[in-house]
């Protein structure tokens, strides 16, 4: 074997060894990961009364009753309501005849079918936010005699 053949064979063997020992190109980078675990939202609405007892009155008069309650929350919150018209099964009195006055409301709120009573209230987990609300119904002058019922539902939710 000549010198050129030995040199060529050596280069082929070295190339083969180099090719076998080289793997795919690679690079590594390390990332740090973090997470913040938040306290679970805890919102409690307690109403001291189970009904709004407006009593009775004549057409053109205003009847009222007050309820009280507490919201305890470890997150910012809002209080909303859903309401229905008053009905005796045949006749109705619009819910818009009701005005709501109470703790931290400023001016009276004329009720609709839904609305907001408080918004973006700060957390009060230990003592709670105590409120009193007075519902006043102005009985329309053309209201027919009867016992009328309506529903008013309060809901407390976390402010996003």
pLDDT, tens digit, 9 for 90 and up, residues 61-111 = 999 999 999 999 999 999 999 999 999 999 999 999 999 999 999 899 999
Residue range 22-44: average pLDDT? 83
Domain that holds residue 105: 43-158
Apex 130 CA angle, 133 and 155, nearest 5: 65
CATH classification of the domain holding 73: 2.60.40
Looking at the structure of the chain, the number of domains it has is 1
What pLDDT digit, counting tens, does each position of 47-57 carry? 998 899 999 99
Q: Does a structural domain hold residue 6?
A: no
Q: Does a structural domain hold residue 147?
A: yes
Query: What's the confidence (pLDDT) of residue 13?
Result: 46
Point out which residues pair with 115 in neighbouring strands.
Answer: 81
Which residues fall within 8 angstroms of residue 74, CB to CB, at 6 or more apart? 39, 41, 42, 43, 123, 125
Q: Does a structural domain hold residue 47?
A: yes
Q: Does a structural domain hold residue 85?
A: yes
Residue 10 has pLDDT above 90, yes or no: no
Q: Does a structural domain hold residue 34?
A: no
How is residue 97 written in tokens? 């005849």
How many Cβ atoms are within 10 Å of 27's Cβ, its own excluded? Answer: 4
């Amino acid at each position: 074997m000549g010198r050129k053949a030995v040199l060529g064979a050596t280069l082929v063997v070295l190339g083969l060894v180099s090719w076998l020992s080289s793997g795919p190109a690679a690079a590594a980078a390390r990332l740090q990961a973090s997470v913040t675990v938040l306290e679970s939202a805890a919102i409690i609405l307690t109403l001291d009364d189970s009904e709004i007892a407006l009593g009775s009155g004549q057409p053109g008069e205003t009847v009222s009753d007050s309820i009280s309650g507490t919201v305890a929350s470890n997150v910012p919150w809002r209080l909303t309501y859903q309401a229905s018209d008053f009905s005796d099964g045949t006749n109705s009195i619009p819910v818009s005849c009701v005005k709501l006055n109470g703790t931290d409301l400023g001016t009276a709120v004329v009720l609709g079918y839904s609305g907001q009573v408080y918004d973006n209230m700060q957390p009060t987990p230990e003592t709670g936010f105590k409120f009193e609300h007075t519902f006043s119904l102005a009985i329309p002058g053309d209201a027919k005699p009867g016992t009328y019922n309506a529903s008013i539902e309060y809901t407390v939710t976390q402010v996003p």
